[in-house]
Chains A and B, each alone.
Chain A
Amino acid sequence: MASGSGLTAEVASALGPRARLSGGTLFLLIILLLAIVGIGIQAAADATLFAQITLNGLSLAGLYFIVASGFTLIFGLMRVVNMAHGSFYMLGGIIAYLVQERMLNPDPTSFDLPQATLTSFLIPLIVSMFSIALLGVLIQQVFLRWNQGQELRQALITIALSIIIADQAVARFGGIAKEISVPVRKSIQLPIVGMYGTTRLVLLLVAIVVGVALVLIISRTRFGMIVRAGVDDRQMVTALGVNIQKVFVGAFFLGALLAGLAGVLGGAVNSVNKSDDGKFLLISLVIVIVGGMGSLTGAAVGAVLLGLIDSYSDVYLPDAITNYGVLLTFFLLVFVLAVRPYGLFGRPG
């Protein structure tokens, strides 16, 4: 890759030397520009709809961010592509649902659904988060500790785990989507947007809090300092006498905890669904590739891009091709890889 120092060199390396701005990249840029103009025209036509779906996209991005931030942490620091990360998400929802069901003890003959209180929402949330965090540590210790550095082997082991977990979930939990009950589920009046659901707003808020907390942990604590150093140069950190094993356990704990949290929130806002594991794993991977591995800012930006693309394509693509909205995600991937092979905020490392 182009090397150099200073801001100009940085920009130059980001875009590639002028001579290398190939036809393909130019084509992608034009498409991007057209898409932005198209959305702009549509937005001007119906501002309320635009505001609503933007908020939908952002709240979805919040969910994506919480999942992907854990993934990027593990990926960036340990070079472990944890293919069971989606399973952590799915199990998070299932555990919270089962705990809540036990707490609420609904009458099977009753037509009305049980209503959670703050306690019967928070306790399942906390139980689920920490169970998943411990499961993450267990998996790291049992399956990933003895084969460090063997990336493909680790990826295959975690794929195997995710398939086993998925099949067990179907067998024991069944195929019907379940909803985690929340204390308040209603809509409130927002300026421009109009009526908007509270659970999605809460989701967005939680994602922001998680993001801020992670930034503080990574930038202000000793653990965060080691993680940052580890992302840049793992061998050097080990050589300096840091017990990197402890840090790995911490990273897995935190990463799995976040996936579990996202699973519960996703189950409350959408539903607990046994086929979500593959979907959220794929999303995490795309976000990390787009954002750059190990970068929190990258995860946030990647999540927002993906959330907005998802939301806009549902509405602004012609009816006949809304089904293909998911392809746009991969156009984004291609575009980013073409202009910034390490991801938007990634560094060669």
Chain B
Amino acid sequence: MNIRNKRWGWLSATLLIIIIGIVAAACGGSDSSSADTAAADTAAADTAAVETAAAAPEKKIVMGFLSNCEGPFGPFWDATLAGYYTALVQFAGATPVDPADPKAGVTGAMVPGTEIPIEINTDYGCSDDKADKALSEAKRLVEQEGVNILIGPLSGDEGIAVANYAKTQPDVTFLNGISGAQDTTLKVQAPNFFRFFTDGAQWTAGLGAYAYNVLGWRTAVTIGDDYSFPYTQTAGFVSEFCSLGGKVTDRIWPALGETDYSSYIAKLPNDVDGFFLDVGGTGTVQFVNQYTEVNGNDSLQGKVMGGAFISNPAIIKELGSKVEGVVAGSALPSDATDANWTTYVDAITAAFPDQAGNAANIFLAGYYNNTQAAILGLGAVGGNIDDAAAFQSAIAGVEISTGVGPVTVDGNRNAVGANYVVQVSDKGATTLFTVPDVDQSFGGAFSADTPNPDRDNPKCVAGNPPPWAASITK
């Protein structure tokens, strides 16, 4: 009997450790097969590129791709690949292998204006939104696969890790995918890391002023997942709202992956005018469902403003009229009809017709912007990347054309661009107004010397509102 009990003690202890390990590792599901298939699918394209590359006199140009094929953002793997390859088709003259499947890759990419081939590495970097995974994949691509232009990664903490790694590899040029943490460019400042897409704080430009000037909020509470991207988004809202005189009375940070928000909801004070919601992905659906049930409202209109998550088409579909009228910040309009937007959508349609519906998906747009910048930079140096510094300063000077108009980067190599304040309606997300030329410093509120956005920072301080705040009125 005793022996058996002992065995059971050991067994249950071992099992517990295994489960904790699995839960920690999976943390939001797993699907590792897609990367392998993708690599296999495009093996042919790879070989073709290698053969032609041998003829080039200068240092071979090898472009690598790093995104998330598993974890919470795994579902966006195809969209990020579509953005990457659409830019190669549009600006480097490549041809999609299979227009129905971005994973199949492209052939015949060349530096614009030359016959110099761009070799596309198809052993894609597959991460899972964890910084350590993104870092080891970036190292694999650079140190083993010989990639010298890397496009990626996808999410906040990953971006910070890869930007820090970039400092140790000055001859390799890094362009962000769609990771949105502020620190990546503002604090890390790797001279060879570029982000041709705005950061998470820039995506909230206009929201604080809308809350204060239009909705008449004077007090607010923020609630968001506990990691760097929601910190950055909340920083943008807090900084603008407080600069006008608003007060943020509390900031609540549930763990990423929480499923029962009921007690956080109970904790939300009743005596504030509204709150800024930046609980992401599956959490958005759960939070809103639980909030509306307890509060007996059919809609969150006027009470809630959202970050990047709540205006996501997939989330709107799950929440329907509960989020009708909610105002949110967005880096992209989903209802634009102007020439810039049409050109951008046409480019996607020409390369991958099935992905046209993803035009307003930031995951696609981020990879599209950054890949385009790399190609234009290559064009500017005539495909000669022997002098990495010259190539990098050429990239810093390019102006890319995007769905929201031309985008350039600032001295920290971070995009300056327009932001959109949208309202959820039965048509999806309708643009209320556009905030042009939003820079990362938010009109001076953020700099390399200000504290990193975190649970308590930036502090809520009145004064020095960003330049666009005054024009946002009823």
Contacts and interface: CB of A to CB of B under 8 A. Distances in A.
Genuine A/B complex: yes
A275 B26 contact: yes
Contacts of B295: 187, 195
B470 interface: no
In this complex, the member of B75, B251, B289 whose beta carbon has the largest number of chain A beta carbons within 10 angstroms is B289
Contacts of B27: 275
B260 A270 contact: yes
B30 to A, nearest CB: 7
A274 B74 CA distance: 13
A111 B282 contact: no
B450 interface: no
Interface in B120-147: none
Given A111-B320, A314-B263, A315-B267, A175 B296 contact: no
B63 to A, nearest CB: 28
A190 to B, nearest CB: 12
B266 A56 contact: yes
Contacts of A159: 18, 22
Contacts of A187: 293-296
B289 A170 contact: no
A226 interface: no
Given A170-B74, A315-B263, A282 B19 contact: yes
A310 B455 contact: no
Interface in A156-184: 159, 163, 166-167, 169-171, 174-179
Contact of A179 (B8, B72, B254, B289): B289
B290 to A, nearest CB: 7
A73 B72 CA distance: 33
B263 A170 contact: no
A79 B12 CA distance: 11
B267 A49 contact: yes
Interface string B396-426: 0000000000000000000000000000011
A114 to B, nearest CB: 9
Interface residues of B, number: 62
Contact of B294 (A195, A271, A276): A195
Contact of A319 (B28, B252, B286): B252
A285 interface: yes
Main secondary structure of the interface of B (DSSP, over half): helix
A298 B321 CA distance: 43
B19 A271 contact: no
A226 B9 CA distance: 25
B29 interface: yes
Interface in A184-229: 185-187, 195-200
Contacts of A282: 19-20, 23
A273 interface: yes
A289 interface: yes
Give chain A's interface residue range (CB within 8 Å of chain B): 35 or more
Given A83-B19, A179-B289, A197-B294, A166 B26 contact: yes
B321 A166 contact: no
A184 to B, nearest CB: 10
B464 interface: no
Contacts, number: 172
Nearest to B16: A285
Contact of B253 (A53, A171, A319): A319
Contacts of A112: 320-321
B73 to A, nearest CB: 8
A78 interface: no
B21 to A, nearest CB: 10
B257 interface: yes
Interface in B4-59: 5, 7-9, 11-12, 15-16, 18-20, 22-23, 26-31, 33
B171 interface: no
A302 interface: no
B262 interface: yes
A265 interface: no
A145 interface: no
A270 B266 contact: no
A56 B293 CA distance: 13
Interface string A61-87: 000000000000000000101010000
A176 B26 contact: no
Interface stretch (A8-16, A23-31, A246-254, A320-328): A320-328
Nearest to B28: A275
Contacts of A312: 263
Given A56-B263, A270-B290, A315-B267, A176 B5 contact: no
A198 B292 CA distance: 12
Given A81-B11, A166-B29, A167-B31, A177 B293 contact: no
A233 to B, nearest CB: 10
Contacts of A273: 259, 282, 286
B389 to A, nearest CB: 41
Contact of B285 (A83, A110, A176, A198): A176
A237 B251 CA distance: 58
B226 interface: yes
A314 B266 CA distance: 10
B465 to A, nearest CB: 26
Interface in A306-343: 310-312, 314-315, 319-320, 322-323, 325-326, 341
B314 interface: yes
B282 A319 contact: no
Given A175-B74, A176-B282, A271-B286, A281 B293 contact: no
B3 interface: no
B30 A170 contact: yes
A322 B254 contact: yes
A186 B296 contact: yes
A245 B226 CA distance: 48
A29 to B, nearest CB: 23
B282 A341 contact: no
B318 A176 contact: yes
B439 interface: no
B315 interface: yes
Contacts of B250: 319
B254 A314 contact: yes
B264 interface: yes
Contacts of B339: none
A250 B296 CA distance: 42
Contacts of B294: 187, 195-197
Given A177-B283, A286-B16, 19 more contacts: A57-B263, A110-B320, A111-B425, A111-B426, A112-B321, A167-B31, A167-B33, A174-B75, A176-B285, A176-B314, A177-B282, A177-B285, A185-B293, A195-B295, A270-B286, A270-B290, A271-B289, A273-B259, A348-B1
19 contacts: A60-B262, A79-B8, A81-B12, A111-B426, A112-B320, A151-B7, A159-B18, A163-B30, A175-B75, A175-B282, A176-B75, A186-B296, A196-B294, A197-B290, A271-B285, A311-B260, A319-B455, A326-B255, A348-B1
Interface of B: 1, 5, 7-9, 11-12, 15-16, 18-20, 22-23, 26-31, 33, 72, 74-75, 226, 250-255, 257, 259-260, 262-264, 266-267, 281-283, 285-286, 289-290, 293-296, 314-315, 318-322, 324, 425-426, 455-456
